[in-house]
């Protein structure tokens, strides 16, 4: 009995590796983690390819109820835990791996492409990226300034900054549940324009000249798909651009090598 933790890649059902597909086909139970990212295909496409039913694993199942679901199944039979992108794109997946090991469950990891390496399509050198940060949807009296701090520290070292943009999945938040609201919410995906506006508002408060309308940015949408949108330009120009369907991410380059400068001319 083995828990197979399998990366699915970034776009659709066809991005799974041959090794990953072989593992899925021999598993009795298949879980799909669907709260840290999304695939650009319906779950039925996965089930058609696998020839098996796929169980959606929400945040509550993975973080709070895994012992009674995913790990319980893995202790009894081969079980697949599918992750969009690479297996370890989120801390919650590392936690699941640790809990499986504590329960003496055999694990096999099958990696895949993730946003952390897909950004190489911009022409920026991957080893020159600094700490990655996330920009979340602001709420009343809550607007974390961590992305600004990460950008500032990366800039000190002339490193590029990748900003992952927030996803609000189709389930009530913990705050909604506290208020007695158990209604399924429509998914929300942060746009590049919203991310630029977020950083601009922090700059207006902090006035440290870290992120201004003149700051060079690269907006990326649907990386890993057949029709990604990638545009480089000043923040004041990118905020006006329509990047289309999700998922979006924002890159603020650090010091550019001449090869990187040449690559950006095509964006």
Domains and CATH numbers, the chain: 2-113 (3.40.1010.10), 116-264 (3.30.950.10)
220-241: average pLDDT: 97
- The yes-or-no verdict on residue 185 having pLDDT over 70 is no
Per-residue pLDDT at 57? 94
Q: How far is CA 208 from the centre of its chain?
A: 29
Among all chains, which residue has been given the structure tokens 């600004």?
A: 148
What digits encode the pLDDT tens for the residues 120-145?
999 999 999 999 999 999 988 899 99
Contact 218, 230 (CB under 8 A): yes
pLDDT at site 176? 56
Query: What pLDDT was estimated at residue 14?
Result: 96
- List Cβ neighbours of 90 (8 Å cut-off, separation of 6 or more): 36, 83
Enter the pTM of the model.
0.90
Per-residue pLDDT of 80-111, as tens digits, reads 999 999 999 888 899 999 999 999 999 999 99
Q: CA 52, CA 44: separation in Å to the nearest integer?
A: 10
pLDDT tens, residue by residue, 8-66:
999 999 999 999 999 999 999 999 998 899 999 999 999 999 999 999 999 999 999 99
pLDDT at position 141, please? 87
Please count the CA atoms within 13 angstroms of the CA of 138 that sit on its side-chain side.
Answer: 16
**Chain mean pLDDT for the chain:** 93
Kindly state the average pLDDT of the residues 182-191: 76
pLDDT at 210 over 60: yes
Average of pLDDT values for 188-214? 97
Residue 218 has pLDDT above 90, yes or no: yes
In the chain, the percentage of residues whose pLDDT exceeds 90 is 87
**180 pLDDT above the threshold of 60:** no
């Amino acid at each position: 009995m083995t828990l197979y933790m399998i990366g699915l890649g970034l776009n659709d059902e066809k991005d799974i590796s041959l090794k990953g597909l072989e593992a899925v086909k021999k598993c009795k139970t298949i879980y799909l983690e669907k709260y840290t990212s999304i695939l650009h295909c319906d779950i039925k496409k996965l089930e058609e390819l696998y020839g098996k039913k796929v169980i959606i694993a929400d945040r509550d199942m993975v973080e709070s109820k895994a012992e009674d679901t995913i790990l319980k199944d893995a202790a009894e039979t081969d079980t697949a835990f599918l992750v969009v992108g690479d297996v370890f794109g989120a801390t919650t997946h590392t936690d699941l791996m640790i809990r499986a090991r504590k329960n003496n469950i055999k694990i096999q990891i099958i990696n895949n492409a993730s946003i952390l390496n897909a950004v190489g399509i911009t022409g920026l050198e991957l080893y020159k990226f600094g700490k990655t940060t996330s920009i979340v949807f602001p709420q009343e009296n809550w607007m974390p300034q961590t992305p600004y701090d990460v950008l500032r520290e990366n800039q000190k070292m002339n490193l590029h900054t990748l900003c992952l943009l927030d996803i609000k999945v189709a389930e009530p938040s913990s705050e909604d549940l506290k208020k007695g609201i158990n209604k399924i919410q429509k998914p929300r995906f942060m746009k590049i324009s919203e991310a630029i506006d977020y950083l601009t508002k922090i700059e207006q408060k902090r006035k440290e000249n870290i992120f201004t309308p003149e700051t060079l940015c690269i907006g990326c949408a649907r990386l890993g798909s057949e029709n990604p949108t990638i545009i480089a330009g000043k923040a004041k120009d990118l905020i006006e651009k329509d990047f289309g369907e999700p998922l979006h991410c924002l890159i603020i380059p650090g010091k550019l090598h001449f090869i990187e400068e040449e690559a950006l001319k095509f964006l």
